[in-house]
Amino acid sequence: MQRVVLISGASRGIGLASAVRLARGGWAVVGLSRSTDGDAALREAGALPLSADVTDVTSMQRAFQTIAAQHGRLDAVIANAGAGLVGCFEDLDDAQIRALFEVNVFGVLALTRLALPALRASQGRVVVISSVAGRLAAPSSSAYAASKFAVEGWAEALRHELAPFRVPVVLIEPGATRTDFFRARARGTRVGTGAYASLSARLLALQDAQSTKGVDPDVVARSIERALVDPAPPLRVPTGAGTRAQLLARRLLPWRVYEGLLRLALRLPEP
């Protein structure tokens, strides 16, 4: 029987790369997105694009009804849809931060809640696209990191809750990835006009440089594919050599040494 996977944020970047890879690998793929930009590529790969917004429960309910009607089962959900927000905390307003959490936190929770009855029935799995920022926070990422830290804590607890039903929960933790998402984050950095002006300008330049580097989204898609078939997947899957190196440094180095190296790498002024 063909396995069925639902992917949110499937119109571009990691979501599109994963949808194409899995469809070509024999999965029945349903790709959710607000945009139709990736529909042609999804259809060409054999995936089914559906219009849905993770902040709109009604649109997601319609998508799940379509899946039930066409496939009668669901074997995996990949919570990939996300938003970015870059800027020093004091320069950000509450509306921006709340909008970020609606997508990165509450959207992930709502999508997963809708999927769980079918996943318990199929003993499927939940894959959540987090970020290295869910474990390591850097200046100008306070709001984004907060949203990812929240998702990481939720996913860890959910993994324990679903263990009796044999439904693994896996966090994929990419670092910088060559996608429009990361370029948009760089362009969206708010350059402060007051106390943070100099720091924000420096961080914006670094964000611009970083957005052209990083791993190809298909590297992340391969990690997702492995997480779907691994008989005993780990909770966390750091993706990319740079990400693994950062996490290793944070784990092994004393805090003051790590903090000093981070300041040096980001060219931050000494306190």
Give the tens place of pLDDT for each residue, 60-86. Answer: 999 999 999 999 999 999 999 999 988
Query: Helices in 71-196 by DSSP H: which ranges?
Result: 94-101, 108-122, 142-162, 180-187
On average, the pLDDT of the chain sits at 90
pLDDT band at 223 (very low <50, low <70, confident <90, very high): very high
Query: Is residue 1's pLDDT more than 60?
Result: yes
Tell me how far CA of residue 51 lies from CA of 45, 60, 129, in angstroms.
17, 9, 20
Query: Is residue 269's pLDDT more than 80?
Result: no
pLDDT of residue 187: 46
Q: What is the helix (H) or strand (E) element at residue 50, kind and residue range? A: strand 48-51
Q: How many CB atoms lie within 10 A of CB 56?
A: 13
Q: pLDDT tens digits, residue range 86-104?
A: 888 998 999 999 999 999 9
pLDDT over 70 percentage in the chain? 92
Whether the CB-CB separation of 229 and 162 falls below 8 Å is answered with no
Distance in angstroms (rounded) separating the CA atoms of residues 118 and 27: 16
Q: Phi and psi dihedrals of 112, rounded to 5? A: -65, -40
pLDDT of residue 188: 47
Picking from 57-61, 127-131, 163-167, 255-259, which range would have the lowest pLDDT averaged per residue? 255-259
3-state secondary structure of 169: strand
The domain locations on the chain are 4-178+215-245
Question: So which residues are the catalytic ones?
Answer: 144
Q: pLDDT tens digits, residue range 245-266?
A: 888 888 888 989 988 888 887 7
* Whether the model pTM is above 0.85: yes
Nearest residue to 128 via CA among 80, 57, 74: 80
CATH, domain range 4-178+215-245: 3.40.50.720
